[in-house]
Amino acid sequence: MTDVLTLTEGAVLRIRLNRPKAIHALNTGMCVGMLDALNAAEGDPAIEAVMIDHAEGRGFCAGGDIRMIAESGAADGSAARDFFHIEYQLNHRLFTYPKPIVAFMDGITMGGGVGISQPARFRVATENTKFAMPETGIGLFPDVGGGWYLSRLPGRIGQYVALTGYRLDGAECLALGLATHFVPAAALDAVKAAIGATPQALAAILDDASTVAASAAILAHRADIDRLFASDRLENVLAALAADPGEWAAAQRATLSAKSPQAMKVSLRLLAEASAMTDFADEMRQEYAVATRVAQRHDFIEGVRALIVDKDNAPRWNPATPEGVSDATIDAIFAPLPAHEAWTPA
């Protein structure tokens, strides 16, 4: 079975993720296939638009091939580097693509799924959408452009989502601008058929199909998020949560206690630097340098062991405390790669 289906329907390039048993988690071959299809379609005047969705199963895309990356990271890291390089090329290609793209974020949309949906001009959420960047729980960080997208959310919501791995529903995605439209899942087939028939009317078709989403629950905590997650220093965030007597703050503190201290510090640094960037290619170059190093560090390999391989959900982080993760360690993770090793656009 082909892990990704790329087909032309009328004047539309359809990209359909087709790895249902893995909730369509991306592997190197899938990224290559999507990139090749996009490159061919760009030069084809008959193709007017691109649709990205999943062929079957309960989610759009659960992320990347984490187990492979961890196995590679525990060895020489070359396969992990190859994957990140092509995946980030795909992310950047989608971001800069000249033809309109619509991504259907129906169901689980996490990690790598965020990376191939957020660059799209049109991003459709449904009542099934579960959008998250849960990487700190496995010792990683919100990559695939996560630094760029999360740092541009209102207030400190991006920092909150990056640290906690909070799952946003479709209504929350719409309210925060992560989705451009909210369409009931039952209407998706008809919407896709309409786009396939008249892609030049893509925007109008989505506007007509959109319904009013429920209220965005996360906004009820906006003031608390902005206050408690105000600092780019992890120790300050944890101190603010500890000093707050409320149940919500206690719940966030408990959530963060299970995350990798190193990964949380990397995430805060990533968002702080991404917020000042003006070129998405610079973001991908930075994330690639960080990812290739983090993939070979203890916390990522241990996080994947604990949550994905052995599933004991008891990772032993090292260092085990935020204070143990030195500024020098974070600086080394973020250092630019030598020119011959650095990420380059496709």
Map residue 54 onto helix, strand or coil: strand
**Catalytic residue (one of 112, 115, 139, 145):** 112
**Catalytic residue (one of 48, 106, 135, 287):** 135
The question of whether 143 is a catalytic residue gets the answer yes
Residue 278 contacts by C-beta under 8 Å, 6 or more apart in sequence? none
- Where does the chain have alpha helices with state H? 28-42, 66-74, 78-96, 112-117, 146-151, 157-164, 170-176, 188-197, 202-209, 222-228, 234-243, 247-257, 261-274, 280-294, 298-304, 327-334
| CA angle (31, 35, 37) in 5-degree steps | 120
**Cα 54 from Cα 123, distance rounded (Å):** 14
**Catalytic residue (one of 64, 139, 145, 170):** 64
Token duo for residue 55: 């062929």
Q: Are 151 and 158 in contact (CB under 8 A)?
A: yes
Token duo for residue 157: 């919501």
* Paired residues of 212 in beta bridges: none
**Catalytic residue (one of 53, 143, 169, 299):** 143
**Cα 244 from Cα 242, distance rounded (Å):** 6
* Cα 336 → chain centroid: 22
Token duo for residue 310: 């052995």
* Paired residues of 169 in beta bridges: 130
Pick the closest to residue 115 from 138, 83, 139, 159 (CA basis): 83
Q: What is the largest CA-CA distance in the chain?
A: 61
Residue 178 contacts by C-beta under 8 Å, 6 or more apart in sequence? 118, 123, 125, 131, 149, 153, 168, 172
Enumerate the active-site residues: 64, 112, 135, 143
